Amino acid sequence: MDSLTLFFTGALVAVGIYWFLCVLGPAERKGKRAVDLSGGSISAEKVQDNYKQYWSFFRRPKEIETAEKVPDFVDTFYNLVTDIYEWGWGQSFHFSPSIPGKSHKDATRLHEEMAVDLIQVKPGQKILDVGCGVGGPMRAIASHSRANVVGITINEYQVNRARLHNKKAGLDALCEVVCGNFLQMPFDDNSFDGAYSIEATCHAPKLEEVYAEIYRVLKPGSMYVSYEWVTTEKFKAEDDEHVEVIQGIERGDALPGLRAYVDIAETAKKVGFEIVKEKDLASPPAKPWWTRLKMGRLAYWRNHIVVQILSAVGVAPKGTVDVHEMLFKTADYLTRGGETGIFSPMHMILCRKPESSSPPPEESS
């Protein structure tokens, strides 16, 4: 073996060890390894077709006419992305402002705890997590508040992941997960002491429908807080670059059209809520939420190579490469949305269901 061959063999072994330790290793601790990437509840051979269907549906979010089909496509989206999210981001599928001196993990947890502090629940009370993902926020919130949390998600694969994580964390006595549509929830009227949604109701084709459902299941006098995805006052519909960024965010995140920040409180009032507080948690002095996305760019390239190799050797389903590429591009649109200030993923609204709840005013036709 000449010295050049020896050098390249050594370099390959070193890269292999680096991948094993730095790529597969840390992900394992988060609960998902690259070699376990799947299409959620979709069988491996159908992942590519499902991705194509998803893409043709959400390519033009503003033109989605059949609102009834949205939850099904959102379900498909989460089958396609859940493992990649867990592998590359962790168990909390949302953003949080950066906090100097704190890790992403701590900043995420503090953002979640703030939600439950705002709705002022007591230990033992029952609260609802609307669009709970694999339950990262639910576990942080249950540990912090000692309230009983019931989470709902449309995606069955996430239900199984969340239940597994709850059990592993020893929190299954406090945390329950239900598979269902948040537009028609399988819960009784006036049955929860509080509710929260973290970056989830943006998937509802009509915000009014999900807010009305949350209002229905809350006990009178109890509170609901939501972190909403919105376009801010800086967004100008006549600016082509703004439109490109917002459409990029909608396509890559299964959104049937982003809402303007002014619509949030209007909709909450319309279904009967009193508005207690409203604040864009992304605005200064909060530190940028998108730095975590920017810092990950090098890791995304590395991940892309890993996904390509795993897909080529048949470990990851065909189509995983397309999904990963879509997320790669989405990360860029989200970063541009943050840097330009035209988009916020954390427009916070805190509402109360009045003590004596008269039915909300009828829509005039």
Ligand X SMILES: C=C(CC[C@@H](C)[C@H]1CC[C@H]2C3=CC[C@H]4[C@H](C)[C@@H](O)CC[C@]4(C)[C@H]3CC[C@]12C)C(C)C
Ligand Y SMILES: C[S@@+](CC[C@H](N)C(=O)[O-])C[C@H]1O[C@@H](n2cnc3c(N)ncnc32)[C@H](O)[C@@H]1O
Question: Using CB under 6 A as the criterion, which residues of the chain lie in contact with ligand X when the complex forms?
Answer: 84-85, 88-89, 93-94, 199, 202, 253, 296, 300, 303, 324, 327-328, 330-331, 334
Question: With CB under 6 A, what is the number of residues at the site for ligand Y?
Answer: 23
Least Å distance between CB 225 and ligand Y? 12
Q: Which is nearer to ligand X, 98 or 120 (CB)?
A: 98
Stretch that binds ligand Y, among 18-26, 43-51, 56-64, 175-183 (CB under 6 A): 175-183
One residue of 50, 92, 226, 320 binding ligand Y per CB under 6 A: 92
- Residue 202: which of 213, 212, 210 has the closest Cα? 210
226 binds ligand Y (CB under 6 A): no
136 binds, among ligand X, ligand Y, none (CB under 5 to 8 A by kind): ligand Y
Q: Give the span between the Cα atoms of 202 and 227, in whole angstroms.
A: 9
89 binds ligand Y (CB under 6 A): no
Helices (H), ranges, 19-126: 25-30, 47-58, 70-88, 104-118
List, in order, residues 6 or more apart from 197 with CB less than 8 Å away. Answer: 129, 130, 131, 182, 210, 214, 224, 225, 226, 227
Q: Which is nearer to ligand X, 298 or 313 (CB)?
A: 298
Alpha-carbon Rg for the chain in angstroms: 21
x/- string (CB under 6 A) for ligand Y, residues 139-168? Answer: -------------xxxx--x----------
Q: Which is nearer to ligand X, 216 or 290 (CB)?
A: 290
Helices (H), ranges, 3-69: 3-18, 25-30, 47-58
**Site for ligand Y, residues 261 to 320, rule: CB under 6 A:** none
Question: Letter for the amino acid at 317?
Answer: P
Q: β-strands 148-153, 126-130: how paired?
A: parallel
327 binds, among ligand X, ligand Y, none (CB under 5 to 8 A by kind): ligand X
- Residue 135: which of 104, 168, 103 has the closest Cα? 168
Structure tokens given for 82: 């859940």
x/- string (CB under 6 A) for ligand Y, residues 55-74? Answer: ----------------x--x
Count CB-CB contacts under 10 A for residue 44: 15
- Residue 204: which of 19, 47, 349, 61 has the closest Cα? 61
Report yes or no: 80 and 40 within 8 Å, Cβ to Cβ: yes
Q: Which is nearer to ligand X, 127 or 326 (CB)?
A: 326
Q: Which is nearer to ligand X, 112 or 199 (CB)?
A: 199
250 binds ligand Y (CB under 6 A): no
Is the peptide bond prior to 285 cis by the omega test (within 30 degrees of 0)? yes
Least Å distance between CB 18 and ligand Y? 30
One residue of 109, 203, 216, 347 binding ligand Y per CB under 6 A: 203
300 binds, among ligand Y, ligand X, none (CB under 5 to 8 A by kind): ligand X
Least Å distance between CB 115 and ligand Y? 10
For residue 206, report the phi and psi dihedrals to the nearest 5 degrees: -130, 115
Structure tokens given for 195: 């509710």
DSSP 271: T
94 binds ligand Y (CB under 6 A): yes
One residue of 73, 89, 95, 182 binding ligand Y per CB under 6 A: 182
